[in-house]
């Protein structure tokens, strides 16, 4: 009889991937990045364990927002009474594109300690340069569809 094998975090061989999001939509790129971080692209995928790979995202400043999202407000609360802040998504993409990509991927990962462990394997950079050359990352091609 065949049994399903469940993998633990320490039993997984992790790889490093670099993703260039130049010209890609933020949301569509984030879904595929989250899939790699969770480990869904591997045969050893286990939902309750962190079996994913490391992902380096470059050129986050060149990613695009589609539709009318540029005018959509981005709201956050500072924690003080009456301090609800608001900026447009366009302003956030112009000034903090790495934060926008990070938040998009974070929203697609599980909540709780497992999701935070997966998110620690994500590295996002505005430009084309990154300091992870020693890990010898492989290029990961993600498509717009």
Task: Report the pLDDT value the prediction gives residue 38, as an integer from 0 to 100.
Answer: 96
Query: Other CB atoms closer than 10 Å to residue 76's CB: what's the count?
Result: 10
pLDDT given for residue 145 in this prediction: 63
pLDDT > 80? residue 93: yes
Query: What pLDDT digit, counting tens, does each position of 125-138 carry?
Result: 999 999 999 999 99
* Burial group, residue 67, by CB count within 10 angstroms (0-12, 13-18, 19+): exposed
Q: Domains plus CATH for the chain? A: 14-64+96-139 (3.90.1180.10)
Please compute the mean of the pLDDT values over residues 97-106 and round it to a whole number.
Answer: 97
Confidence bin at 90 (pLDDT 50/70/90):
very high
């Amino acid at each position: 009889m065949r049994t399903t094998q469940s993998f633990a975090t320490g039993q997984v061989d992790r790889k490093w991937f670099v993703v260039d999001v130049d010209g890609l939509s933020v949301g569509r790129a984030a879904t595929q990045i989250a899939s790699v971080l969770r480990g869904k692209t591997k045969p050893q995928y286990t939902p309750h364990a962190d079996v994913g790979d490391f992902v380096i995202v470059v050129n986050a400043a060149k990613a695009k927002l589609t539709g009318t999202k540029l005018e959509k407000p981005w709201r956050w609360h500072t924690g003080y009474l009456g301090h609800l802040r608001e900026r447009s998504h366009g302003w956030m993409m112009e000034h903090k594109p790495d934060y926008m990509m990070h938040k998009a991927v974070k929203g697609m990962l599980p909540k709780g300690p497992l999701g935070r462990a997966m998110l620690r394997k994500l590295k996002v950079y505005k430009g084309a340069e990154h300091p992870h050359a020693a890990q010898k990352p492989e290029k990961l091609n993600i498509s717009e569809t």
